Amino acid sequence: AQKITQTQPGMFVQEKEAVTLDCTYDTSDQSYGLFWYKQPSSGEMIFLIYQGSYDEQNATEGRYSLNFQKARKSANLVISASQLGDSAMYFCAMIPHNTDKLIFGTGTRLQVFP
């Protein structure tokens, strides 16, 4: 079965420090895409970063980077230089090849403190 697992229900990080949010996935497909979304307390879902399974380099978008380890089936999100505004729920998601069904993990709540 295709599944996304986020084992950290909550994480704390001090402002300006880096933090890693874990995500592992389960699929037998060779081609798939991985996404991270942010959901602030206001409730909207914000796209952060995408990694394709055939991408040779880890994706980066500003302070966000995706630590993609295909053999381990992990796609951890790294946030560098955390800011108070990074406090939110973070969801990892996967779309297997030739499907239209984006599968989400249960999320990690990140709290950044001064």
Partner 1 sequence: NAGVTQTPKFQVLKTGQSMTLQCAQDMNHEYMSWYRQDPGMGLRLIHYSVGAGITDQGEVPNGYNVSRSTTEDFPLRLLSAAPSQTSVYFCASSYSGQGANNSPLHFGNGTRLTVT
Its sign, for the CA torsion 63, 20, 26, 56, is positive
From the list 10-18, 33-41, 69-77, 78-86, the region that binds partner 1 by CB under 8 A is: 33-41
Is residue 106 at the binding interface for partner 1, with CB under 8 A as the rule? yes
Least Cα distance to 68 among 110, 98, 23, 100 occurs for 23
What SS3 state is found at 80?
Answer: coil
Q: How far is the CB of 68 from partner 1 (least distance, A)?
A: 14
Is residue 19 at the binding interface for partner 1, with CB under 8 A as the rule? no
Q: How far apart are CA 39 and CA 69, in angstroms?
A: 24
Is residue 43 at the binding interface for partner 1, with CB under 8 A as the rule? yes
Q: Contact positions toward partner 1, by CB under 8 A? A: 4, 31-33, 35, 37, 43-47, 50, 52, 91, 93, 95, 97-107
